[in-house]
Amino acid sequence: MPRASQKRKSRDGCAPKSPAGDRGRAFRSRLLAWYRRSARRLPWRGSRDPWAVLVSEIMLQQTQVARVREYWPRFLARYSTVEDLAAAPADAVRESWDGLGYYARIRNLHAAARHVVDVLGGRMPASAGALRALPGVGRYTAGAVASIAYGERAAAIDTNAGRVIARVFGVRGRKGSARRERRLWALGEALVPCRGAGDWNQALMDLGATVCTARAPRCPACPVRRVCRAAGAGHRRLHPLARARATAVPSRRAGKEVPDEPARSAPISRSRPSPRPSP
């Protein structure tokens, strides 16, 4: 007779893996069930084209989702392939970005497109590790694109996803501290299922953006409240300690939270800066 752990592996495609443990498996199951019912309908979510996914992720840095809904299809109609953007003059590319702001993003995206065409023969990198070699692509963006476009088992932990994980697993410490970020990434990587990694990462993003928000979390409506340590301990555990002023490091990608359809928030890892920070 197969063991319980073997049964769990056959159901979700992953053997149990520490440090998430039983809480992690329950959390994953509840969150994915919620996402299947409640996922936001966003135009880029129907695409598995790595170029289209990369464009959406870059646009979502510091920009409200409602604005990206408008710009993403328009931009891809003009630059439907990486070759199209690579061949375009810089002034035309910048003009196509007008209204989105944070112009370092489009300069990096343009440079990335040229790198793909000139160095990689027009083939988009097919793994998170390879994607990080592109200008402006950091750990979060690489994980998001690799998991969504290729199904790679890669974590994508931005501020929204990190906040969810910290609350569910009771991760303490000052915001931005190296120790706290290492713990969040370790948990994030352990939680990613072997199958459906893209859906998992987007489920974390959606929960952090719409339910488990920074200032006014809607705990009664949260699908994972029964496995959440912060919710069980009361509101005082919902907020991490503020970053100490003496060691504060300004984040170029820290964005304000918008209650409805928020912008992507900053990736919690600053190991490699990139112009993008969860919705």
* Farthest CA pair distance, the chain: 66
Token pair, residue 38, equals 């409640």
Token pair, residue 192, equals 């990613």
Q: How far is CA 103 from CA 3, 62, 79, 237, in A?
A: 54, 11, 17, 37
Token pair, residue 19, equals 């440090």
Which amino acid does the sequence have at 61? Q
CA distance 132 to 125: 9
| List 57, 152, 181, 257, catalytic entry | 57
What's the number of CA atoms in the CB half-sphere (13 Å) around residue 31? 30
CA distance 185 to 146: 16
Question: Interhelix angle for 139-150 vs 50-59, to 10°?
Answer: 140
Annotation marks residue 57 as catalytic: yes
List of residues 6+ apart from 215 with CB closer than 8 A: 257
What's the residue count for the chain? 279
The residues assigned a catalytic role are 57
